[in-house]
Amino acid sequence: MPIHTNDTNKIIYKELSYKINGILFRAHNELGRYCRERQYADKLEELWKENKINYKREKKMLGDLVTGNIPDFCIEDKILLEIKAKSFIVKEDYYQIQRYLQTNKIKLGLLVNFRNRYLKPIRIIRINS
């Protein structure tokens, strides 16, 4: 559920999100839209290193030991990134990242589908439960 606000100071991890989005767009521009998820993940990993961004790739986190959920990336221990390379993002993709956020007690997730002609990262905020 998106939070609508005119106060840009309330954006969670604004600067880090901006950097991540820039890297996502760069990967999309360099690889195009018809690669596999793994190819995008490899490219992103290269770009995280190049930009000195602390990340974990497909690493089981505390909450994942019980559920078996493994997000594609955890960036700076603040943002979970789930990448897709398919025709459409569906509800199940949203639910998947919401599970990751809940089990790992992380506030913000990004869901990005590299198959889109124009990249549109989706910000997902953990629902408090």
pLDDT in tens, 19-62: 999 999 999 999 999 999 999 999 999 999 999 999 999 977 66
CA dist 121 and 111 (Å) reads 6
Q: What is the pTM of this model?
A: 0.87
- The encoded tokens of residue 119 equal 């990249």
- Diameter over CA atoms, the chain: 39
Q: What is the pLDDT of residue 7?
A: 54
CATH architecture group of domain 13-125? 3-Layer(aba) Sandwich (3.40)
| pLDDT tens-place string over residues 76-85 | 999 999 999 9
